Amino acid sequence: MPPPAEALTSPMVPAPFAVAAKRQETQDTWTLELSPHGAEEMAFAPGQFTMISAFGTGEVPISISGDPRASGTLVHTVRAVGLATAAICRACPGEVLEVRGPFGRPWPVEEIEGSDVLVIAGGIGLAPLRPAILALLARRERYGRLLLLYGGRSPDQLLYTEELERWRQEGLEVAVSVDSAGPEWLGHVGVVPRLIGRARFDAARAAALVCGPEVMMRFTVSALRQAGVDTASVYASMERNMQCGVAHCGHCQLGPTLVCRDGPVYRWSEIERWLGIREL
């Protein structure tokens, strides 16, 4: 007997999505486009994530990296770092993955209307920010300057390289930096926070959306503070070990909060004190 309709949309019940298309971004990172396979389409807000698994391997949280206006397909950019993510990255077109969600608090793209917006990404951190960039560009006239400051370890580690040029043409000022590169790289070399000192924006009316390794986010926030940006206007997407996605298991605790329920996007001023405590 088929399950009742409400069970298919329950946050605890995985829904089947088939791999419709797959693109390799870097040596260990793939972007997968998923279509509902008897499941409902999934509407989402920029910054939200799903819990996703390939059959027989673990379920992991992965941010949705697609366009929030195109809810027909679900896009994920996944870096193969272990068993579950490697199995997802191996999935071929036609194969079915199990997906629950969407979960989490999104980027505040409407709340920051009127601001100069700095989108600051390190490595795979550009994936959770891509839907926010697409949402900002879709309503370009509602914002002041829009800047993307993006850093990767090396030029071959950069994501969405073809799209960066399109975003430039649509009104995003894009600065890219890599930690190290050969002579063929003509762009900036150095860590992402260094790009903040060179960027032109009005600190008094700036908001920043930040995602990357935690150490990168700390240095980024300190550079933003030095530039005069209020940390109440800085939002960061946090990653913690996560298992249920629905605030039952407590694995993703950050101070008194749970990243799956209260994050992954937080105002920096809300979480700064918890980040200062080791192993928390």
Ligand X SMILES: Cc1cc2nc3c(=O)[nH]c(=O)nc-3n(C[C@H](O)[C@H](O)[C@H](O)COP(=O)(O)OP(=O)(O)OC[C@H]3O[C@@H](n4cnc5c(N)ncnc54)[C@H](O)[C@@H]3O)c2cc1C
Query: What residues line the site for ligand X (CB under 6 A)?
Result: 49, 58, 60-63, 77-79, 81-85, 124, 127-128, 239-242, 264
Closest separation in Å from C-beta 47 to ligand X = 9
Closest separation in Å from C-beta 4 to ligand X = 29
Residue with tokens 């407590």: 250
Closest separation in Å from C-beta 268 to ligand X = 16
For ligand X, the closer CB: 131 or 196: 131
For ligand X, the closer CB: 99 or 229: 99
In sequence order, what are the beta bridge partners of 66?
Answer: none
Longest Cα separation, the chain: 63
DSSP 108-144: -TTTTTTSEEEEEEEGGGHHHHHHHHHHHHHTGGGSS
Of the chain, the end-to-end C-alpha distance in Å amounts to 45
Closest separation in Å from C-beta 144 to ligand X = 28
For ligand X, the closer CB: 62 or 146: 62
Cβ-proximal residue to ligand X, closest one: 82
Q: In angstroms, rounded to a whole number, what is the distance separating the alpha carbons of residues 248 and 260?
A: 10
For ligand X, the closer CB: 117 or 124: 124
Q: In angstroms, rounded to a whole number, what is the distance separating the alpha carbons of residues 44 and 66?
A: 10
For ligand X, the closer CB: 239 or 262: 239
Closest separation in Å from C-beta 83 to ligand X = 4
Can you count the helices (H) and strands (E) in the chain? Answer: 8, 15
Using only C-alpha atoms, what is the Rg of the chain?
18
